[in-house]
Amino acid sequence: MSGHLIVVGYDTWTDAVIELLRSSKISYSILLTDKEAAENLRSEGEEVVCVSDFNEQAFRDAGIDRADAVLVATLDDQQNILAVLTATDIDETMTVGTFTSRERDGPKLRRAGADVIVNLGQAVAELIAETALTGAEPQQLLEEILAEETIVELAQPAQVTGEGTESHEQSDAGIENDATTKR
């Protein structure tokens, strides 16, 4: 991949995302509001932009001009909606993925411009069920879910499948994927 991914926010789930990005050798920066987390991440060699608000300038500082995708990874759905809106206001063709902690916020995130929405509650429930049924380790299953269906997919440049083609697919892991061609 020649581009860049912006990870917005830093919460409980973000460590797994960053670990996956590190192992995938994908270029990324982390945009967050937590000063202590920013200092810790910088000390680990991460490219971090710490801001008070996820506004247009914050996204520009994080490198949205060179980004192929934005992953909004906070556990605050209202903050996610604002970040998705801001990213798509800057570049309406930007591929944006996000988490949602409440199913009712999925449609709002979709209207804001999110292409991929991970419903954390559904994904965790399916992860627990899969672990119980197969005996697999939860961490291994989580890494497989993230690797196969979200982060790596987001980081790849969009593929043109036809002007205006649209479909919403729900995967087995609580991930709603909008195949709308933006680019």
pLDDT tens-digit series, residues 34-62: 999 999 999 999 999 999 999 999 999 99
Does the reported pTM lie above 0.85?
no
Q: What is the pLDDT of residue 98?
A: 87
18 to 68, 81, 122, 146, 180: CA distances (angstroms): 16, 21, 22, 11, 26
| Tens digits of residue pLDDT in 4-31 | 899 999 987 788 888 888 888 789 999 9
Residue 59 lies in a domain: yes
| 164 compared with 90, residue with greater pLDDT | 90
Q: Which domain CATH number covers 69? A: 3.40.50.720
**What CA–CA distance (Å, rounded) separates 126 from 40?**
32
Please name the residue that has the structure tokens 């990874």: 73
DSSP calls for 80-133: HHHHHHHHHHH-TT-EEEEEESSGGGHHHHHHHT-SEEEEHHHHHHHHHHHHHH
CA-to-CA distance for 160 and 179, rounded, in angstroms? 10
Say what the pLDDT of residue 2 is: 53
Largest CA distance in the chain: 47
> Which residue type, as a one-letter code, is found at position 109?
L
Residue 106 lies in a domain: yes
Strand partners, 118: 99, 175
Q: Is residue 116 part of a domain?
A: yes
Does pLDDT of 74 surpass 70?
Answer: yes
Q: Does residue 183 lie within any of the structural domains?
A: no
Cβ atoms of 5 and 21 within 8 Å: the answer is yes
> How many domains, in total, are found in the chain?
1
What range does the domain containing 105 cover? 5-178
In a domain, residue 97? The reply is: yes
